[in-house]
Chain A
Amino acid sequence: MFKFIVRRLLQLIPVLFGVTLLVFLMLHITPGNPAAILAGEGASQETIDNVANRLGLNEPLHMQYIYFVMDAIRLDFGTSWRTGMPVADEIGSRFWVTVELAVYSTILSVFIGIIAGVISAVRRYSFTDVGIMLLALFGLSMPNFWLGLMLMQWFAVQLMWVPASGWGSASQVILPVIALGTAGAAIIARMTRSSMLEVISQDYIRTARAKGTKERVVIYRHALRNALIPVVTVVGLQFGYLLGGAVLTETVFAINGLGRLVVDRIASRDFPVIQASVLIIATLFVFVNFLVDISYRLLNKRIDLD
Protein backbone atom coordinates (compact mmCIF):
# COMPACT_ATOMS: atom_id res chain seq x y z
CA MET A 1 0.00 0.00 0.00
CA PHE A 2 2.73 2.44 1.03
CA LYS A 3 4.81 1.48 -1.97
CA PHE A 4 1.80 2.11 -4.15
CA ILE A 5 1.21 5.58 -2.73
CA VAL A 6 4.84 6.58 -3.27
CA ARG A 7 4.82 5.21 -6.80
CA ARG A 8 1.64 7.02 -7.68
CA LEU A 9 2.94 10.29 -6.27
CA LEU A 10 6.07 9.90 -8.39
CA GLN A 11 3.90 9.23 -11.44
CA LEU A 12 2.29 12.60 -10.84
CA ILE A 13 5.47 14.34 -11.97
CA PRO A 14 5.49 13.29 -15.66
CA VAL A 15 1.72 13.73 -15.86
CA LEU A 16 1.90 17.29 -14.67
CA PHE A 17 4.82 18.01 -16.99
CA GLY A 18 2.68 16.80 -19.84
CA VAL A 19 -0.11 19.07 -18.72
CA THR A 20 2.15 22.13 -18.64
CA LEU A 21 3.46 21.37 -22.11
CA LEU A 22 -0.02 20.87 -23.58
CA VAL A 23 -1.49 24.02 -22.04
CA PHE A 24 1.51 26.05 -23.06
CA LEU A 25 1.46 24.83 -26.64
CA MET A 26 -2.29 25.18 -27.03
CA LEU A 27 -2.23 28.74 -25.82
CA HIS A 28 0.60 29.66 -28.17
CA ILE A 29 -1.01 27.92 -31.13
CA THR A 30 -4.28 29.80 -30.58
CA PRO A 31 -4.62 32.62 -33.10
CA GLY A 32 -4.60 36.19 -31.80
CA ASN A 33 -1.57 38.05 -30.50
CA PRO A 34 -1.95 38.59 -26.75
CA ALA A 35 0.16 41.72 -26.92
CA ALA A 36 -2.16 43.26 -29.49
CA ILE A 37 -5.22 42.36 -27.43
CA LEU A 38 -3.69 43.80 -24.26
CA ALA A 39 -2.51 46.98 -25.98
CA GLY A 40 -6.07 47.63 -27.06
CA GLU A 41 -7.71 48.50 -30.35
CA GLY A 42 -5.97 51.01 -32.52
CA ALA A 43 -2.66 50.75 -30.69
CA SER A 44 0.42 51.44 -32.78
CA GLN A 45 2.80 48.68 -33.79
CA GLU A 46 5.39 50.20 -31.48
CA THR A 47 3.13 49.98 -28.47
CA ILE A 48 2.32 46.38 -29.32
CA ASP A 49 6.02 45.53 -29.63
CA ASN A 50 6.69 47.17 -26.28
CA VAL A 51 3.96 45.12 -24.61
CA ALA A 52 5.24 41.95 -26.23
CA ASN A 53 8.74 42.71 -25.00
CA ARG A 54 7.53 43.38 -21.49
CA LEU A 55 5.62 40.09 -21.39
CA GLY A 56 8.57 38.17 -22.78
CA LEU A 57 6.63 37.13 -25.86
CA ASN A 58 9.56 37.88 -28.10
CA GLU A 59 11.76 35.29 -26.43
CA PRO A 60 12.17 31.94 -28.26
CA LEU A 61 9.24 29.62 -27.56
CA HIS A 62 11.27 26.99 -25.72
CA MET A 63 12.75 29.65 -23.44
CA GLN A 64 9.25 30.91 -22.62
CA TYR A 65 8.24 27.36 -21.68
CA ILE A 66 11.32 26.84 -19.54
CA TYR A 67 10.68 30.08 -17.66
CA PHE A 68 7.04 29.04 -17.08
CA VAL A 69 7.97 25.60 -15.78
CA MET A 70 10.82 26.86 -13.58
CA ASP A 71 8.49 29.38 -12.00
CA ALA A 72 5.67 26.82 -11.66
CA ILE A 73 7.99 24.44 -9.79
CA ARG A 74 8.54 27.19 -7.24
CA LEU A 75 4.73 27.64 -7.19
CA ASP A 76 5.24 31.10 -8.64
CA PHE A 77 2.62 31.66 -11.30
CA GLY A 78 3.50 35.30 -11.90
CA THR A 79 1.08 38.15 -12.28
CA SER A 80 -1.99 38.44 -14.43
CA TRP A 81 -1.38 40.22 -17.75
CA ARG A 82 -4.85 41.63 -17.60
CA THR A 83 -5.13 42.95 -14.03
CA GLY A 84 -1.52 42.99 -12.90
CA MET A 85 -2.49 41.13 -9.71
CA PRO A 86 -0.61 38.04 -8.54
CA VAL A 87 -2.15 34.95 -10.19
CA ALA A 88 -2.28 33.16 -6.83
CA ASP A 89 -4.58 35.90 -5.49
CA GLU A 90 -6.77 35.86 -8.58
CA ILE A 91 -7.26 32.11 -8.44
CA GLY A 92 -7.27 31.53 -4.69
CA SER A 93 -10.81 32.22 -3.52
CA ARG A 94 -12.39 31.24 -6.86
CA PHE A 95 -10.70 27.88 -6.78
CA TRP A 96 -12.34 27.04 -3.46
CA VAL A 97 -15.75 28.11 -4.73
CA THR A 98 -15.42 25.71 -7.65
CA VAL A 99 -14.14 22.90 -5.44
CA GLU A 100 -17.08 23.43 -3.07
CA LEU A 101 -19.51 23.36 -5.98
CA ALA A 102 -17.95 20.17 -7.35
CA VAL A 103 -17.82 18.45 -3.95
CA TYR A 104 -21.43 19.25 -3.07
CA SER A 105 -22.62 18.19 -6.53
CA THR A 106 -20.66 14.94 -6.30
CA ILE A 107 -22.08 14.17 -2.84
CA LEU A 108 -25.58 14.80 -4.18
CA SER A 109 -25.08 12.62 -7.24
CA VAL A 110 -23.52 9.79 -5.26
CA PHE A 111 -26.27 9.82 -2.68
CA ILE A 112 -29.18 9.96 -5.10
CA GLY A 113 -27.49 7.87 -7.80
CA ILE A 114 -26.64 4.91 -5.58
CA ILE A 115 -30.02 4.78 -3.84
CA ALA A 116 -31.90 5.06 -7.13
CA GLY A 117 -29.64 2.48 -8.79
CA VAL A 118 -30.08 -0.03 -5.98
CA ILE A 119 -33.87 0.37 -5.93
CA SER A 120 -33.95 0.00 -9.71
CA ALA A 121 -31.86 -3.17 -9.63
CA VAL A 122 -33.79 -4.79 -6.80
CA ARG A 123 -37.12 -4.14 -8.54
CA ARG A 124 -35.91 -4.90 -12.00
CA TYR A 125 -38.49 -4.39 -14.78
CA SER A 126 -41.03 -3.02 -12.31
CA PHE A 127 -42.83 0.28 -12.72
CA THR A 128 -40.39 1.88 -10.24
CA ASP A 129 -37.38 0.63 -12.21
CA VAL A 130 -38.70 1.92 -15.52
CA GLY A 131 -39.60 5.24 -13.88
CA ILE A 132 -36.18 5.70 -12.34
CA MET A 133 -34.38 4.77 -15.54
CA LEU A 134 -36.55 7.15 -17.54
CA LEU A 135 -35.77 9.96 -15.12
CA ALA A 136 -32.09 9.05 -15.34
CA LEU A 137 -32.25 9.28 -19.12
CA PHE A 138 -33.74 12.75 -18.79
CA GLY A 139 -31.14 13.80 -16.23
CA LEU A 140 -28.40 12.55 -18.46
CA SER A 141 -29.67 14.23 -21.59
CA MET A 142 -30.49 17.59 -20.07
CA PRO A 143 -27.76 20.24 -20.52
CA ASN A 144 -26.89 21.54 -17.06
CA PHE A 145 -27.18 25.20 -18.07
CA TRP A 146 -30.73 24.63 -19.27
CA LEU A 147 -31.66 22.78 -16.10
CA GLY A 148 -30.05 25.66 -14.18
CA LEU A 149 -32.14 28.22 -16.02
CA MET A 150 -35.34 26.22 -15.46
CA LEU A 151 -34.61 25.76 -11.76
CA MET A 152 -33.90 29.46 -11.48
CA GLN A 153 -37.13 30.28 -13.28
CA TRP A 154 -39.26 28.10 -10.99
CA PHE A 155 -37.68 28.35 -7.60
CA ALA A 156 -36.05 31.78 -7.70
CA VAL A 157 -38.18 33.88 -10.00
CA GLN A 158 -41.70 32.46 -9.59
CA LEU A 159 -41.74 30.82 -6.17
CA MET A 160 -39.00 33.10 -4.81
CA TRP A 161 -37.83 30.41 -2.40
CA VAL A 162 -34.14 30.98 -3.05
CA PRO A 163 -31.99 33.74 -4.54
CA ALA A 164 -31.34 33.42 -8.26
CA SER A 165 -27.59 33.88 -8.19
CA GLY A 166 -24.43 34.16 -6.16
CA TRP A 167 -22.60 31.76 -3.92
CA GLY A 168 -22.15 31.44 -0.18
CA SER A 169 -25.34 30.92 1.79
CA ALA A 170 -27.07 27.55 1.83
CA SER A 171 -30.03 28.91 -0.14
CA GLN A 172 -27.67 30.11 -2.87
CA VAL A 173 -25.91 26.76 -3.04
CA ILE A 174 -28.97 24.54 -3.58
CA LEU A 175 -29.89 25.35 -7.19
CA PRO A 176 -26.41 25.26 -8.76
CA VAL A 177 -25.63 22.01 -6.94
CA ILE A 178 -28.81 20.39 -8.26
CA ALA A 179 -28.17 21.73 -11.76
CA LEU A 180 -24.64 20.39 -11.77
CA GLY A 181 -25.24 17.15 -9.86
CA THR A 182 -28.23 15.83 -11.82
CA ALA A 183 -26.29 14.40 -14.75
CA GLY A 184 -23.87 12.72 -12.37
CA ALA A 185 -26.72 11.24 -10.33
CA ALA A 186 -28.19 9.82 -13.55
CA ILE A 187 -24.90 8.27 -14.65
CA ILE A 188 -24.25 6.80 -11.21
CA ALA A 189 -27.81 5.43 -10.98
CA ARG A 190 -27.42 3.60 -14.30
CA MET A 191 -23.97 2.33 -13.38
CA THR A 192 -25.14 1.14 -9.95
CA ARG A 193 -28.14 -0.61 -11.46
CA SER A 194 -26.18 -2.61 -14.02
CA SER A 195 -23.42 -3.39 -11.57
CA MET A 196 -25.92 -4.53 -8.93
CA LEU A 197 -27.77 -6.72 -11.41
CA GLU A 198 -24.53 -8.48 -12.24
CA VAL A 199 -23.66 -9.01 -8.58
CA ILE A 200 -27.14 -10.15 -7.50
CA SER A 201 -26.91 -13.23 -9.72
CA GLN A 202 -23.61 -14.32 -8.14
CA ASP A 203 -23.32 -17.51 -6.11
CA TYR A 204 -22.33 -15.73 -2.91
CA ILE A 205 -25.61 -13.83 -2.87
CA ARG A 206 -27.42 -17.18 -2.85
CA THR A 207 -25.10 -18.26 -0.03
CA ALA A 208 -26.05 -15.15 1.93
CA ARG A 209 -29.74 -15.90 1.47
CA ALA A 210 -29.20 -19.55 2.44
CA LYS A 211 -27.81 -18.29 5.75
CA GLY A 212 -31.15 -16.70 6.58
CA THR A 213 -29.91 -13.16 6.02
CA LYS A 214 -32.57 -10.47 5.70
CA GLU A 215 -33.05 -9.28 2.13
CA ARG A 216 -32.04 -5.71 3.02
CA VAL A 217 -28.77 -6.97 4.48
CA VAL A 218 -28.20 -9.19 1.44
CA ILE A 219 -28.54 -6.15 -0.79
CA TYR A 220 -26.47 -3.66 1.17
CA ARG A 221 -23.85 -5.77 2.92
CA HIS A 222 -23.32 -8.47 0.34
CA ALA A 223 -24.30 -7.04 -3.03
CA LEU A 224 -23.72 -3.29 -2.92
CA ARG A 225 -20.19 -3.49 -1.58
CA ASN A 226 -19.24 -5.74 -4.49
CA ALA A 227 -21.10 -3.58 -6.97
CA LEU A 228 -19.41 -0.35 -5.89
CA ILE A 229 -16.09 -0.69 -7.69
CA PRO A 230 -17.25 0.42 -11.15
CA VAL A 231 -19.41 3.05 -9.46
CA VAL A 232 -16.45 4.53 -7.59
CA THR A 233 -14.55 4.80 -10.88
CA VAL A 234 -17.41 6.78 -12.40
CA VAL A 235 -17.61 9.02 -9.33
CA GLY A 236 -13.92 9.86 -9.63
CA LEU A 237 -14.21 10.73 -13.31
CA GLN A 238 -17.39 12.65 -12.64
CA PHE A 239 -15.69 14.78 -10.01
CA GLY A 240 -12.92 15.67 -12.42
CA TYR A 241 -15.44 16.56 -15.06
CA LEU A 242 -17.31 18.80 -12.60
CA LEU A 243 -14.12 20.68 -11.72
CA GLY A 244 -13.46 21.63 -15.30
CA GLY A 245 -17.01 21.58 -16.58
CA ALA A 246 -18.70 23.81 -14.04
CA VAL A 247 -18.18 26.81 -16.33
CA LEU A 248 -21.75 26.90 -17.65
CA THR A 249 -23.35 26.47 -14.25
CA GLU A 250 -21.09 29.16 -12.82
CA THR A 251 -22.05 31.47 -15.64
CA VAL A 252 -25.79 30.83 -15.31
CA PHE A 253 -25.79 31.41 -11.55
CA ALA A 254 -23.22 34.23 -11.64
CA ILE A 255 -20.86 32.34 -9.38
CA ASN A 256 -17.30 33.63 -9.22
CA GLY A 257 -15.61 30.32 -9.73
CA LEU A 258 -12.49 29.08 -11.43
CA GLY A 259 -14.31 27.92 -14.55
CA ARG A 260 -15.71 31.33 -15.24
CA LEU A 261 -12.36 32.95 -14.57
CA VAL A 262 -10.63 30.72 -17.12
CA VAL A 263 -13.22 31.34 -19.82
CA ASP A 264 -12.99 35.05 -19.14
CA ARG A 265 -9.24 35.09 -19.42
CA ILE A 266 -9.11 32.93 -22.52
CA ALA A 267 -10.89 35.75 -24.30
CA SER A 268 -8.22 38.22 -23.23
CA ARG A 269 -5.31 35.77 -23.66
CA ASP A 270 -4.26 36.10 -20.02
CA PHE A 271 -1.72 33.26 -20.30
CA PRO A 272 -0.45 33.13 -16.70
CA VAL A 273 -3.96 32.81 -15.19
CA ILE A 274 -5.06 30.17 -17.73
CA GLN A 275 -1.92 28.11 -17.33
CA ALA A 276 -2.07 28.15 -13.55
CA SER A 277 -5.79 27.31 -13.46
CA VAL A 278 -5.47 24.36 -15.81
CA LEU A 279 -2.48 23.08 -13.89
CA ILE A 280 -4.38 23.22 -10.59
CA ILE A 281 -7.46 21.49 -12.01
CA ALA A 282 -5.30 18.80 -13.59
CA THR A 283 -3.44 18.20 -10.32
CA LEU A 284 -6.68 17.86 -8.41
CA PHE A 285 -8.10 15.52 -11.04
CA VAL A 286 -5.08 13.24 -10.90
CA PHE A 287 -5.24 13.30 -7.11
CA VAL A 288 -8.92 12.31 -7.06
CA ASN A 289 -8.18 9.38 -9.35
CA PHE A 290 -5.42 8.38 -6.99
CA LEU A 291 -7.96 8.34 -4.15
CA VAL A 292 -10.28 6.21 -6.32
CA ASP A 293 -7.49 3.65 -6.78
CA ILE A 294 -6.93 3.49 -3.04
CA SER A 295 -10.67 3.04 -2.44
CA TYR A 296 -10.65 -0.07 -4.68
CA ARG A 297 -8.33 -1.69 -2.23
CA LEU A 298 -10.51 -0.66 0.72
CA LEU A 299 -13.61 -2.08 -0.98
CA ASN A 300 -12.04 -5.35 -2.06
CA LYS A 301 -8.97 -6.69 -0.30
CA ARG A 302 -8.27 -8.88 -3.28
CA ILE A 303 -7.18 -5.92 -5.37
CA ASP A 304 -3.48 -5.73 -4.76
CA LEU A 305 -2.24 -2.27 -5.57
CA ASP A 306 1.43 -3.13 -5.17
Chain B
Amino acid sequence: MPLRATHRDAGQATVLDLSGKITLGEGSALLRTTVRKLLDDQRTRILLNLADVDYIDSSGIGELVSAYTTVKGRGGELKLLHLTKKVHDLLQLTKLFTVFEVYSDESTALNSFQ
Protein backbone atom coordinates (compact mmCIF):
# COMPACT_ATOMS: atom_id res chain seq x y z
CA MET B 1 0.00 0.00 0.00
CA PRO B 2 1.43 3.44 -0.91
CA LEU B 3 2.23 5.76 1.98
CA ARG B 4 -0.44 8.22 3.09
CA ALA B 5 0.24 11.14 5.40
CA THR B 6 -2.14 13.43 7.27
CA HIS B 7 -1.37 15.80 10.11
CA ARG B 8 -3.32 17.23 13.02
CA ASP B 9 -2.54 19.78 15.71
CA ALA B 10 -2.24 18.53 19.26
CA GLY B 11 -1.37 21.34 21.64
CA GLN B 12 2.09 22.61 20.86
CA ALA B 13 2.89 19.60 18.75
CA THR B 14 1.80 18.24 15.39
CA VAL B 15 0.93 14.59 15.00
CA LEU B 16 1.78 13.19 11.58
CA ASP B 17 -0.32 10.07 10.98
CA LEU B 18 1.31 7.78 8.45
CA SER B 19 -0.12 4.64 6.89
CA GLY B 20 1.34 2.25 4.34
CA LYS B 21 4.94 1.57 3.44
CA ILE B 22 7.97 3.83 3.80
CA THR B 23 10.17 2.44 1.07
CA LEU B 24 12.42 3.55 -1.79
CA GLY B 25 10.55 5.89 -4.11
CA GLU B 26 7.26 7.57 -3.38
CA GLY B 27 6.98 6.53 0.27
CA SER B 28 10.32 7.99 1.29
CA ALA B 29 9.75 11.08 -0.87
CA LEU B 30 6.33 11.75 0.65
CA LEU B 31 7.72 11.57 4.19
CA ARG B 32 10.51 13.98 3.25
CA THR B 33 8.26 16.58 1.59
CA THR B 34 5.62 16.35 4.34
CA VAL B 35 8.13 16.96 7.13
CA ARG B 36 9.65 19.88 5.22
CA LYS B 37 6.22 21.45 4.72
CA LEU B 38 5.50 21.15 8.44
CA LEU B 39 8.82 22.85 9.20
CA ASP B 40 8.04 25.59 6.70
CA ASP B 41 4.79 26.14 8.64
CA GLN B 42 6.84 26.54 11.82
CA ARG B 43 5.63 23.20 13.17
CA THR B 44 8.84 22.01 14.76
CA ARG B 45 7.46 19.60 17.36
CA ILE B 46 6.49 16.56 15.36
CA LEU B 47 5.17 13.23 16.54
CA LEU B 48 5.27 10.56 13.83
CA ASN B 49 2.45 8.10 14.37
CA LEU B 50 3.60 4.85 12.76
CA ALA B 51 0.72 2.67 13.96
CA ASP B 52 -0.34 1.88 10.40
CA VAL B 53 3.12 1.63 8.89
CA ASP B 54 3.65 -2.06 8.32
CA TYR B 55 6.83 -2.00 6.26
CA ILE B 56 10.01 0.07 6.13
CA ASP B 57 13.13 -0.69 4.09
CA SER B 58 16.62 0.81 4.42
CA SER B 59 15.54 3.80 2.33
CA GLY B 60 12.65 4.41 4.73
CA ILE B 61 14.93 4.06 7.73
CA GLY B 62 17.25 6.61 6.14
CA GLU B 63 14.32 8.96 5.61
CA LEU B 64 13.30 8.68 9.27
CA VAL B 65 16.87 9.56 10.29
CA SER B 66 16.91 12.42 7.80
CA ALA B 67 13.63 13.76 9.20
CA TYR B 68 15.01 13.51 12.73
CA THR B 69 18.21 15.42 11.92
CA THR B 70 16.41 18.01 9.76
CA VAL B 71 13.87 18.80 12.50
CA LYS B 72 16.59 18.89 15.14
CA GLY B 73 18.63 21.21 12.92
CA ARG B 74 15.69 23.63 12.91
CA GLY B 75 15.61 23.61 16.70
CA GLY B 76 12.68 21.21 16.91
CA GLU B 77 12.01 17.68 18.05
CA LEU B 78 10.77 14.62 16.19
CA LYS B 79 9.53 11.61 18.14
CA LEU B 80 7.95 8.28 17.21
CA LEU B 81 4.64 6.80 18.33
CA HIS B 82 3.03 3.34 18.08
CA LEU B 83 5.62 1.23 16.33
CA THR B 84 4.43 -1.97 14.71
CA LYS B 85 6.47 -5.07 15.60
CA LYS B 86 8.38 -5.08 12.33
CA VAL B 87 9.33 -1.42 12.63
CA HIS B 88 10.18 -1.86 16.31
CA ASP B 89 12.46 -4.81 15.52
CA LEU B 90 14.14 -2.92 12.66
CA LEU B 91 14.91 0.08 14.86
CA GLN B 92 16.26 -2.23 17.54
CA LEU B 93 18.41 -4.12 15.03
CA THR B 94 19.86 -0.90 13.62
CA LYS B 95 20.40 0.60 17.10
CA LEU B 96 18.15 3.54 16.25
CA PHE B 97 16.28 3.05 19.49
CA THR B 98 19.26 4.83 21.01
CA VAL B 99 18.55 7.82 18.74
CA PHE B 100 14.76 8.20 18.63
CA GLU B 101 12.42 8.83 21.51
CA VAL B 102 9.72 6.19 21.08
CA TYR B 103 6.30 6.18 22.76
CA SER B 104 3.40 3.75 22.92
CA ASP B 105 0.92 6.27 24.35
CA GLU B 106 -0.02 9.45 22.49
CA SER B 107 -0.78 11.56 25.58
CA THR B 108 2.54 10.68 27.16
CA ALA B 109 4.31 11.45 23.90
CA LEU B 110 2.60 14.83 23.55
CA ASN B 111 3.33 15.76 27.16
CA SER B 112 6.99 15.02 26.60
CA PHE B 113 7.22 17.99 24.22
CA GLN B 114 6.36 20.49 26.94
**Binding partners A and B:** no
Q: What residues of chain B have their CB less than 8 Å away from a CB belonging to chain A?
A: none
Residues of A within 8 A of B (CB): none
